[in-house]
């Protein structure tokens, strides 16, 4: 990891020096050993601060949305999941490929900083920390799918047997049981919208949940409004979700959001597939839900 | 959408979509009658409503 970090620094310094990019997105160290946070280097002097370690879990492709109206040239470091996010942004015409310089890192899996923080706080019972974060344990694309430069050794995809296991389990329940289950889970939601902010697929300029006139969805944390929020959010993710699991990771009340997203992934895969969001970028090629075809299945609507 | 609603435990019959042109009055009437019949069979909706 240290070797990769040094390589990243070299590349960042080279790019910023030559003016090939104005901004280089990577991570810097936070206050604690288990905190790494996104960092925007703007000059060669900033490069020293860049780190790459086990806690660089944040999806940097999401940060690109901040620059979609600028003309900055941007260099950034991506892991497998982040690179799929970039492909999705390119497919959605959110940013031009020519403005990006992508440094891909084959990702060995990251650790969960929140879990580490809990264990260090002394307030919680110390849990044994798994080798990699929950979202990395089922990673299917640890190697970047789009890059200008690739660092690190190729990683093998991690085991997949249980990919849809939870979704299948819920599908087996009766309608009332399912409703009860989601009632219980979603009643915890405090509507902080962290899942929306962390999501690379959430790229509307004006979000339906922010709009006041008309106010489509109530803003209070009542169960019915919570359920509407999660229904709408999830259906906006259909065909876009790249399974980076950031929404679930940032949720302060631990709502299993990927459970809802995976259902849509499964359906899109089944009806329009085989399809995985953002695994390949070809100019002009549209993902299935951005394209009308006469033989599109009706039952997805 | 329909699948998702069903997945969240709401009866899928409550949400129906149809493609009806402005000139297809009969089809519109038929669709609405079927929808009303379906929903009457299900009874009042208690889910997703007024749970404060």
Domain-wise residue ranges, chain B: 2-50
Residue A295 in domain: no
B1–A300 CB contact, under 8 Å: yes
Predicted local confidence at residue B26, as pLDDT: 93
DSSP assignment, residue B49? S
Integer CA distances (angstroms), A129 to A30, A79, A112, B48, in order: 20, 21, 8, 38
Residue A299 in domain: no
Predicted local confidence at residue B52, as pLDDT: 53
Over residues A243-261, mean pLDDT: 88
B52–A231 CB contact, under 8 Å: no
Confidence of residue A162 (pLDDT cuts 50, 70, 90): confident
Confidence of residue A126 (pLDDT cuts 50, 70, 90): low
Confidence of residue B32 (pLDDT cuts 50, 70, 90): very high
Residue of higher predicted confidence among A204 and A282: A204
Predicted local confidence at residue A28, as pLDDT: 92
pLDDT tens figures, A70-117? 888 999 999 888 898 898 888 888 888 889 999 999 888 888 888 888
- A173, A180, A182, A236: best to mutate for the B interface, most B CBs within 10 A: A182
Over residues A125-147, mean pLDDT: 80
Predicted local confidence at residue A249, as pLDDT: 87
Predicted confidence (pLDDT) at residue A237 exceeds the cutoff of 70: yes
Cβ of residue A164 closer than 8 Å to a chain B Cβ: no
Predicted local confidence at residue A40, as pLDDT: 92
Predicted local confidence at residue A180, as pLDDT: 86
- Out of A175, A223, A301, name the one closest to residue B11 (CB): A175
Give the domain extent around A110. Answer: 2-290
**Other beta carbons within 10 Å of A149:** 16
B9–A234 CB contact, under 8 Å: no
Chain A's closest residue to B11, CA to CA, is A175
Over residues A121-128, mean pLDDT: 73
Residue A247 in domain: yes
* Cβ contacts of A193-198, under 8 Å, gap ≥ 24: A194/A247, A194/A250, A194/A251, A194/A252, A195/A233, A195/A247, A195/A248, A195/A250, A195/A251, A195/A255, A195/A257, A196/A233, A196/A247, A197/A250, A198/A59, A198/A62, A198/A246, A198/A247, A198/A249, A198/A250
Contact A136, A79 (CB under 8 A): no
Nearest in space to A298 (alpha carbons), one of B27, B10, B1, B33 = B1
Confidence of residue B30 (pLDDT cuts 50, 70, 90): very high
Contact A28, A46 (CB under 8 A): no
What is the average pLDDT score of chain A? 85
d(CA B16, CA B28): 13
ipTM over 0.95: no
Predicted confidence (pLDDT) at residue B34 exceeds the cutoff of 80: yes
Minimum mean pLDDT among A58-62, A84-88, B9-13: which range?
A: B9-13
Residue A300 in domain: no
Residue A261 in domain: yes
Cβ of residue A263 closer than 8 Å to a chain B Cβ: yes
Domain count, chain A: 1
């Amino acid at each position: 990891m240290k070797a990769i970090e040094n390589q990243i620094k070299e590349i960042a310094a080279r790019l910023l020096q030559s003016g090939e990019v104005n901004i280089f997105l990577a991570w810097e160290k936070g206050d604690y050993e288990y905190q790494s946070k996104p960092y925007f280097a703007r000059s060669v002097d900033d490069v020293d601060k860049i780190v790459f370690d086990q806690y660089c879990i944040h999806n940097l492709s999401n940060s690109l949305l901040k620059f979609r109206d600028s003309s900055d040239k941007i260099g950034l470091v991506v892991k497998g999941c982040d690179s799929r996010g970039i492909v999705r942004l390119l497919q959605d015409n959110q940013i031009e490929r020519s403005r990006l310089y992508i440094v891909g890192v084959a990702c060995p899996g990251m650790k969960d900083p929140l879990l580490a923080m809990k264990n260090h706080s002394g307030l919680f019972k110390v849990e044994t920390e798994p080798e990699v974060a929950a979202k990395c344990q089922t990673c299917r694309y640890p190697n970047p799918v789009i890059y200008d430069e690739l660092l690190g050794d190729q990683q093998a995809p991690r085991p997949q047997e249980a990919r849809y296991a939870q979704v299948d389990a819920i599908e087996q329940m009766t309608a009332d049981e399912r409703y009860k289950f989601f009632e219980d889970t979603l009643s915890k939601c405090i509507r902080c919208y962290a899942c929306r902010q962390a999501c690379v697929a959430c790229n509307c300029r004006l979000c339906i949940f922010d709009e006041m006139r008309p106010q489509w969805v109530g803003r209070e944390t009542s169960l019915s409004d919570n359920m509407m929020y999660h229904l709408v959010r999830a259906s906006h993710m259909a065909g876009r979700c790249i399974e980076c699991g950031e929404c679930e990771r940032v949720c302060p009340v631990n709502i299993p959001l990927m459970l809802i997203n995976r259902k849509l992934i499964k359906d899109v895969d089944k009806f329009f597939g085989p399809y995985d969001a953002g695994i390949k970028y070809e100019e002009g090629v549209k993902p299935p839900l951005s394209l009308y075809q006469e033989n599109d299945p009706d039952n997805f609507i | 959408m329909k699948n998702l609603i069903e997945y969240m435990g709401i009866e899928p019959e409550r949400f129906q979509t149809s493609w009806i042109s402005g000139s297809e009055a009969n089809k519109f009437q038929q669709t609405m009658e079927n929808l009303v019949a379906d929903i009457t069979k299900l009874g009042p909706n208690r889910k997703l409503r007024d749970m404060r």
